Amino acid sequence: MTENTIKTIKVHKIIDECEGVKTFVFNMKDDHIESYVNPKPGQFVMVWVPGIDEIPMSISDCDDNGNWAVTVKKVGECTNAMYNLKIGDYIGIRGPLGNYFKVSAEKSKEIFIIGGGIGMAPLKFLSTELTKRSIKHIIIEGAKINTDLMYIEYFKESTANRSQIHYCTDDGSYGIKGVASDIFRRIIKEFSENELQNLIIYSCGPELMLFKLFQLCQEYNIEFYASLERIMRCGCGLCGLCALDPLGLLVCKDGPIFDLNTLKKVEDFGKYQRDFTGKKINI
Ligand SMILES: Cc1cc2nc3c(=O)[nH]c(=O)nc-3n(C[C@H](O)[C@H](O)[C@H](O)COP(=O)(O)OP(=O)(O)OC[C@H]3O[C@@H](n4cnc5c(N)ncnc54)[C@H](O)[C@@H]3O)c2cc1C
Ligand code: FES
């Protein structure tokens, strides 16, 4: 068995996160210990819902006992089917797949985790790992409205006294009014040249928000990593649906996380993605 073999697994626990979003926990060690691979923050799985489809989902949590979690926002056929799963139902999992957020060993670095909407899912796993290693970090979470904000209670407990968290909403119904990239711009206004050089940004969320962050990081020469989303069919480098022009990088295999220097060369970034037929469409 490899990471690409589908493992059938039972839904073990379900957590309501916010409007239209649930987290599903399943145990990957119990039945498949011989092929068990520890996932890293930023990696994803292909989730097969029997009779429906197979779709990519970021791993939003993992503990030492092999309990993995994915957080699902219902947007279409397969995510709706997932949302309606019950404890004890079976799903198929392939993974962990893709690359991951590489965390600097330099403790002096100031880490920002910046996400929007369902993009917070892989960033929650990253925050948990940083907290386990006593690495301080600042979280900026954005959403359209207050009822779309995720993990508020979790972050309150897990980051208490160690890290800062800023919330923002498009309509100002919770936290600061604005999008996550605007909040980041406001925060770094106070920073000196030296402080800016010391920052690392890990981000995931709507691509236009990621693109604004990328532009800021380019302007101020800040280390930057973004996790991209593309429609995926195979999840393992075969179909080419997730290819980024003009380099031909595959989000499923070379990503989903790309650094600033790579993104500078990706002409699709912030502009185009492919639909299910492979045709390019505006983001
Ligand atoms: C690496 C990666 C990690 C992801 N992690 C998560 C996660 O943690 N939680 C989560 O809820 N979702 C995540 N997604 C997005 C998720 O895979 C899509 O929302 C899902 O495939 C939609 O399937 P559907 O059958 O419900 O929707 P469909 O009925 O197929 O489509 C509904 C709408 O969503 C759009 N869409 C479909 N697939 C994608 C996609 N891959 N990216 C962007 N838009 C899409 C369609 O164009 C359409 O407008 C991730 C995607 C990627 C590539
Ligand atoms: S999803 Fe098939 S190559 Fe990436």
Q: What is the rounded distance in angstroms from the CA atom of residue 64 to the CA atom of residue 36?
A: 12
Ligand closest to Cα of 242 equals 2
158 burial class (0-12, 13-18, 19+ CB within 10 angstroms)?
Answer: middle
pLDDT tens for residues 207-243?
A: 999 999 999 999 999 999 999 999 999 999 999 999 9
Token look-up 């999992």 returns 93
**Strands 164-169 and 137-143, how do they pair?**
parallel
Give residue 47's pLDDT.
97
- Test site for ligand 2: of 233, 254, 268, 274, most ligand atoms within 8 A of the Cβ: 233
CATH for 110-282? 3.40.50.80
Token look-up 């923050």 returns 41
Q: What is the DSSP letter of 224?
A: E
Residue 25, CA distances (Å) to 49, 127, 208, 249 in order: 15, 18, 30, 31
Nearest Cα to Cα of residue 106 among 138, 141, 140, 133: 133
242 lines ligand 2 (CB under 6 A): yes
Mapped onto helix, strand or coil, the DSSP state of residue 263 is: helix
Listed in order, the ranges of the chain carrying CATH 3.40.50.80 are 110-282
Tens place of pLDDT per residue across the chain (283 aa): 577 888 899 999 999 999 899 999 999 987 666 778 899 999 999 999 999 999 999 999 999 999 999 999 999 999 999 999 999 999 999 999 999 999 876 777 899 999 999 999 999 999 999 998 888 899 999 999 999 999 999 988 876 666 789 999 999 999 999 999 999 999 999 899 999 999 999 999 999 999 999 999 999 999 999 999 999 999 999 999 999 999 999 999 999 999 999 999 999 999 999 999 999 999 9
Give residue 104's pLDDT.
73
| Prediction pTM value | 0.95
Token look-up 């979470």 returns 141
Listed in order, the ranges of the chain carrying CATH 2.40.30.10 are 7-97
Q: Which amino acid type is present at position 49?
A: V
Give residue 156's pLDDT.
85
Q: Residues lining ligand 1, CB < 6 A?
A: 44, 53, 55-58, 70-73, 75-79, 118, 121, 229-232, 256
Give residue 238's pLDDT.
95
Q: What residue's CA is closest to ligand 1, atom 4? A: 57
What atom of ligand 1 comes closest to residue 227's alpha carbon? 1
Give residue 251's pLDDT.
98
Q: What is the DSSP letter of 51?
A: T
C-alpha 231 – ligand 1 centre gap (Å): 7
The CATH homologous superfamily of the domain defined by 7-97 = Translation factors (2.40.30.10)
Q: What is the rounded distance in angstroms from the CA atom of residue 51 to the CA atom of residue 46?
A: 15
